[in-house]
Amino acid sequence: MVKEWRLLIRREFSNYGIGIFQRDLLAALTVAAVALPLALAFGVASGVDAAAGLVTAVVAGILIGALSGAPYQISGPTGAMAAVLVVLASRYGLQGMWVAGLIAGAILVVLGIFRLGRVVALIPAPVISGFTSGIALIIAFGQIDNALGISTPPAENVVAKLTYYATNGIDPNLNALALTLLVIVIMLLWPRLRFSQRIPGSLVSILVATAIVLLAGLDVPSIGAIPRSIILNNRLSPSGIPWSELRNLVIPAMSIAALGAIESLLCGAVGGNMTGIRLHNSVELVAQGIGNMVIPFFGGVPATAAIARTSVNIKSGGVTRLTSILHGVILLLVALLFAPAIGRIPLAALAGVLMVTAWRMNEWSAIHFYFGKRLKHAMAAFLITLAATVFLDLTQAIIIGFGISTLIFMSQISDLNISRQPVDVERLEKKGQPFIHPEHTIGVYYLSGPLFFAASRKLLDEVEAQDQPGARLILSMRGVPMIDATGIEVLREMWHRQQKGGGDLLLAGLQPRVENLLQRSGFLDEISAQHVFWSADEAIRSLGAVLTPIDNAPIAEDSIDSTLVIMPHEDRANQQI
């Protein structure tokens, strides 16, 4: 792993010079401008404070950026992670959240070392879309307090929060509400301006809202004091670790690790498509793991790669990972030099930023595709994952999402296509292979798809519905890539059924993997090699052909199919063609 990282660094900086440094620096300034308001907002949304989000952006930008598996990755606090952390912090406290983040970091390192990042690719897109939309709703509803300028007890999910509002009522601060709406309007309209690409709308809206509060003397809740230090007073310490809760923190830690892996690798996929530079998944997971093991000791929150900031980096001309490092240094300088001014930012402004961010998080094009084309599996997976994310906690939602992924995968690969076709007598005769057996007593089944527990009964039901036990059956299995114990038992049951009824069962076109399993199971020995053939044609000829060539039929010296010598599969496989 270390050698792989060193090789990446060597390639990345092989032609580094002042020109590339200037591009990295300009990109870092742009990324920092985007990251600053988001870091503050996500720190608050995580159930901690703005300072924690800022520290996370600094440490993640420098440490994870330096160790990353690609030059374009920008890591820091994210909205998806904030939605997980706010519930975790309310349930186990800040120390519990930090310990869970530490454990999650260790899990990510293990995933990277054993190169298990490929597992993320098995999660269907609708599940990820549903999870993302659910998180977006959690973020938006979680900012109602800040948007209205009120304070209510933490809630474990959206339903509990809405129930509290309905039960106890609310007394909104109209000034805070007006600021939130102003920020939303500015952020939505900002992209229409020509110079919007140079300055992010989130930063502009926060500056405008803060200026209004200071000039008008509005009484609205603000961020509060921002310490001029990268190491916060409120951070993970060995003496504060809730040892009695460690067992309860393992599952939340797995959720954080899973979310971190998903976001980071998806971000790498997006960045790879934009730049043509492939993300080294294992290196990235180790980098994320190390970063998240260090961040709690600074007082930050768990981090992951951020797609929006990574895209800004690429579009701004960033070339190497120095962009990420410099953006972290710039954020640190901002914290040290402008901490008092940052502390005056109204929480209502951050609420507006987060609500717009939540709206933009949704993968609208994918959602329109699923529902516009009425893709039932995709729609079901999306809605179930979204509902689980909103109405349950994020840990359960991730488990349900993985469960849905498994079910969808099983459903898709268990699609065994079965086609029963009559014997083509005319074609056989044209090949000089006259067919004399009564055609209706032979059933030729062409199978395509895996023959395992989820689909095996389908084959048995199909055969029982169309052919009597006295029929002679041929299963063409060239399209069967795999078989399991249930599939083997179904074949054995079919064999016994046909034998008892006076019929027969022949197998044709076995894939090497399938043949190996059938051999190991003893099934091929049970039916003998005389019932296994290279092709369906050979199996058909063995049941109904005259075993001598027609006098006038030409026989090609190099073609076994042109002869009427019936060769079982075992012999044919060894034949030198």
- The tokens describing 243, both together, are 């040892």
| Residue 253: inside a domain | no
Terminal alpha carbon distance of the chain: 46
pLDDT at 400: 86
Question: Which residue, 346, 380, 410, sits at the end of a domain?
Answer: 410
Same domain, 132 and 274: yes
Same domain, 127 and 268: yes
| Residue 239: inside a domain | no
| Residue 14: inside a domain | no
CA-wise closest residue to 230 among 101, 340, 329: 329
Same domain, 445 and 325: no
Classified as helix, coil or strand, 4 is: helix
pLDDT at 44: 93
Domain that holds residue 119: 2-6+19-224+261-410
CA dist., res. 346 & res. 221, Å (int): 6
Same domain, 400 and 490: no
Same domain, 24 and 88: yes
Same domain, 393 and 443: no
Q: What angle do CA 223, 224, 228 make, to 5 degrees?
A: 110
Residue located via tokens 């076994």: 560
The answer to whether 547 touches 553, Cβ cutoff 8 Å, is: no
| Residue 238: inside a domain | no
Q: What is the CATH number of the domain that holds 526?
A: 3.30.750.24
Count other C-beta atoms under 10 Å from residue 141's C-beta. Answer: 20
Same domain, 24 and 102: yes
Count other C-beta atoms under 10 Å from residue 329's C-beta. Answer: 15
| Residue 394: inside a domain | yes
CA dihedral 168→169→175→180, nearest 10 degrees, is 90
Same domain, 490 and 562: yes
Same domain, 318 and 459: no
CA dist., res. 444 & res. 460, Å (int): 14
The answer to whether 64 touches 75, Cβ cutoff 8 Å, is: yes
Total domains, the chain: 2
Same domain, 318 and 427: no
Same domain, 357 and 494: no
Same domain, 322 and 219: yes
| Residue 241: inside a domain | no
- Name residue 183's amino acid: V
CA dist., res. 243 & res. 274, Å (int): 45
Question: Which residue, 386, 410, 434, sits at the end of a domain?
Answer: 410
Each residue's pLDDT tens digit in the chain (577 positions)? 789 999 999 999 999 999 999 999 999 999 999 999 999 999 999 999 999 999 999 999 999 999 999 999 999 999 999 988 998 998 888 999 999 999 999 999 999 999 988 777 777 888 889 989 999 999 999 999 999 999 988 777 788 888 999 999 889 999 999 999 999 999 999 999 887 777 889 999 999 999 999 999 999 999 988 999 999 999 998 887 878 888 899 999 998 999 999 999 999 999 998 999 999 999 999 999 999 999 999 999 999 999 999 999 999 999 999 999 999 999 999 999 999 999 999 999 999 999 999 999 999 999 999 999 998 888 988 999 999 989 887 667 877 877 887 787 777 777 788 989 877 667 666 666 666 555 447 889 999 988 887 777 788 888 888 888 888 899 999 999 999 999 999 999 999 999 998 889 999 999 999 999 999 999 999 999 899 999 888 888 787 643 333 333 333 333 333 333 344 444 444 443 3
| Residue 339: inside a domain | yes
| Residue 240: inside a domain | no
CA dihedral 448→449→453→457, nearest 10 degrees, is -30
pLDDT at 429: 67
Question: Which residue, 351, 381, 410, sits at the end of a domain?
Answer: 410
